Amino acid sequence: MAIKYLYIDDNPTNDGALTKGFLSGLKTDQLDFDEYYIWVRETQDGKWKIREDLEHFIKENSYQGILFDWNLTASSSQIANGDTSVGLAQHIRQIISFNKEGVKNSIGAIKDIPLVLCSSKGNIKEIMDLDKTGADLFDYIYHRDEMIEARADVALHSLSKGYEKLNEKERALISILHSDETTFNNLDIIFQEDIKSLMQSPSHEIARFILRELIEYQGLLIDEDLLAARLGVDIEKSGEVWVKLKKELELFKYQGVFEDAWERWWWLEIEEWLSNNFPDISFQTTKAVQRVQLISGKFNLEGLKPAQPLDRCDSDEFWTICYATKKPLDFFDGFLTNIRTSYPWQDDIYVSNKAVLDFEGGQEGKWKISPTEKNRLKKYKTLLNSEES
C-alpha cells in the first residue's frame, strides 16, 4: 500500500491544476498524497481553527507524513500567533512529544511522522538556515523546483518508512541502524553514547540525529562519491563496471533507516575489508591507478577506470571529495571549507583548488573557504599570478 502524505499549501489562490500538476510528479505507486488540503487562513467566523482541525485530520486519516508548501509570506501578526509553517510544525511536534499531562514521552498523542517543507522561494534554504530552531522541526527542506530532480518522492517515502521503524514499540538501536553488535561497538564511542541517549526520545529527534549527523556528513558513513574516490574510481568513465563493483560491496552498505533514499556505506567495514585483502597497502597513500588495479584484480573486473585529478590539482592519492564538484580529491590539493562539523566522527569538508578558483572562494549559500585558509589562498593566488604573467 502506498504511503500517504498530507499536503498543505498556504496559497489559497492556487487552483487545483497547478497543485495537481506538481504532485503528479511526486506521486508513485509507493507514495500518494491525500490530494491536497488548501490552507484556509481564516474560518468564516474569523477564528483560527487549523490546529485542532489538523490534529484530528492526521489521526483520522493516518497520514504518514506532511508536506508543507509554504510561501513564507506570513505577516508579523501571524508570526506572533505562531500561524506559520514553523508554528504549525512546532505544534505538531509538541502534541507528538507530550502526552496529556505534559510529560515528555516517546509515544505522543499522535504518531510521530516526518514533516517536510518545500517552497518556491528561491532562497528557502538560506531563510531556514537563519532560523535553526525552525529548520530543526523539519526532516528535510526542499526548493519546490528541485524536488523532481532530487527524487523527493523517494525521500518522502523513505522518511515515512524510517519513522515507522522508529515508532516501533520495542525500539532497538541495532535494528534501527541495521548493524550487528560488533560493528556498532567499533563505531566512534561518542556516537555510540549520543545515539543511545536518544533512544527514549520521540522518533523525530532520533530521525533528526540520524539524518543530520550521521547520513549528511561523511565519516562513519560515506556516500557513493567518496566511496569511488577512496577506491580511486572514476564513476562516469567506469559506467556499468562501477555498478558491478558496488554490488560486490553491497555487504558494507548501510541498511538502517532511510537507507533507500540515502545510499551510504559503512566506512569502517570497507576499511576493514581493504586491510584484510590488501594487508600491506595503505590505500590512502596509493595512487588511484594502483588502487583500481588492485580492486579490479580482486573482483576480476574489466574496464574500471581510475579517476584523474581535477585541474590545478596534482595528486591522485584521493581520500576526500571536492565539496563543490563532488570529484575525488587529495586534501593537499584543496582548501578547508567553513562548513563546520559538530561531531568528531564527521569528516572535514574540503574544496579543490579548482573550485576555489572557479568560484572565487565560495558559492553563495553553499560554502566558503575556512577563515583559517584565507591567507594560504591569498598566497596561492599570488603564486599563480606570478606564474601566469
Partner 1 sequence: MENVSFTVDAGLINRLGLELVGRAETAVSELIKNAYDADANYVELDFIETIQAGGTLVITDDGNGMTKDQLIQGFMRISSGDKVDNPISPKYKRSRAGKKGIGRFATQRLGKRLILTTQTRESQSSLKITIEWDMYETHKELITISHPIEEIPKERSQGTTLRIENLREAWSEATIKRIFRYTSELIQPNYLSDTAKSLRESNDSFEPIFYQTVGLERNKIADVQELIFDFAIATIEGYVGTDKIGYCNVSSKRFELDEITEISAEGNKNEEIISFQLLENIHFKTYYFIYNRTEYYRDGISKMLLNQIKDFAEERSGLRLYRNGFRVLPYGEPNDDWLEFDRRWSKESAAITIPFGNKNLFGFIEIVDKQGRLFEETASREGLIENDALKELKYFLMQSLKWGRGKIAGSIEFRKARKKWVKKQEDKRSVPQKLEDIIKRIQSLGEDISKGIQENGNTLISNEQKELLENTLAELRKTTISIEEDVNAQIEDLAMMRVLAGLGLVIAEFVHELQQFSPAFNGGLSFLSRQNLDEQSKEVTLNLQKSFNRFKTYTSYFDKAISRNVQRELEPINIKMAINEFINTIKPDAESNRIAVDKDFKGFDLYTCPMHPSEWSSVFFNFYSNSKKAIFRVQSEGKILITAEEDKSKICIEFMDNGDGIKENIQERMFEAFVTISQPVTDDVGEGLTGTGLGLKIVKDIIRAYDGEVYVSLPKEGYNTCIRIEIPKATKTQLEKYGY
Copy the grid coordinates of residue 173. Answer: 538501536
Q: How far is the CB of 315 from partner 1 (least distance, A)?
A: 22
Residues 113-152 that bind partner 1 (CB under 8 A): 120, 122-123, 144-145, 147-148
Contact 293, 304 (CB under 8 A): no
Question: Does residue 386 belong to the site contacting partner 1 (CB under 8 A)?
Answer: no
Copy the grid coordinates of residue 103. Answer: 510529560
Closest by Cα among 184, 266, 197 to 230: 266
Contact mark string toward partner 1, 23..52, x via CB under 8 A: xxxxxx------------------------
Question: Does residue 201 belong to the site contacting partner 1 (CB under 8 A)?
Answer: no
Question: Does residue 91 belong to the site contacting partner 1 (CB under 8 A)?
Answer: no
Nearer to partner 1, 28 or 277 (CB): 28
Contact 237, 285 (CB under 8 A): no
Q: How far is the CB of 131 from partner 1 (least distance, A)?
A: 18
Q: How far is the CB of 252 from partner 1 (least distance, A)?
A: 31
Nearer to partner 1, 27 or 244 (CB): 27
Question: Does residue 312 belong to the site contacting partner 1 (CB under 8 A)?
Answer: no
Rounded CA separation 247/135 (Å): 36
Closest by Cα among 316, 374, 326 to 349: 326
Candidates 13-21, 161-169, 251-259, 347-355: pick the segment binding partner 1 (CB under 8 A): 13-21
CA distance to 16, 31, 161, 228, per residue, from 2 (Å): 22, 5, 11, 34
Rounded CA separation 233/221 (Å): 18
- Count CB neighbours of 42 within 10 A: 12
Nearer to partner 1, 5 or 265 (CB): 5
Candidates 73-81, 102-110, 171-179, 379-387: pick the segment binding partner 1 (CB under 8 A): 379-387
What does the DSSP 8-state code read for residue 10?
A: -
Total number of residues binding partner 1 (CB under 8 A)? 28
Task: Quote the crossing angle between the two packed helices 224-231 and 288-299, to the nearest 10°.
Answer: 100
Residues 215-254 that bind partner 1 (CB under 8 A): none
Nearer to partner 1, 7 or 209 (CB): 7
Q: How far is the CB of 290 from partner 1 (least distance, A)?
A: 35
Q: Give the start-end residues of each E strand in the chain.
A: 3-9, 31-33, 37-38, 66-69, 115-119, 140-143, 221-222, 265-266, 320-321, 328-329, 334-336, 350-352, 362-363, 367-368
Contact mark string toward partner 1, 158..197, x via CB under 8 A: ----------------------------------------
Q: How far is the CB of 239 from partner 1 (least distance, A)?
A: 22
3-state secondary structure of 330: coil
Contact pick of 182, 300, 385, 386 for partner 1 (by CB under 8 A): 385
Rounded CA separation 253/316 (Å): 25
Candidates 72-80, 175-183, 226-234, 358-366: pick the segment binding partner 1 (CB under 8 A): 358-366
Enumerate binding residues for partner 1 (CB under 8 A).
Answer: 11, 14, 17-28, 120, 122-123, 144-145, 147-148, 357, 359-361, 381, 384-385
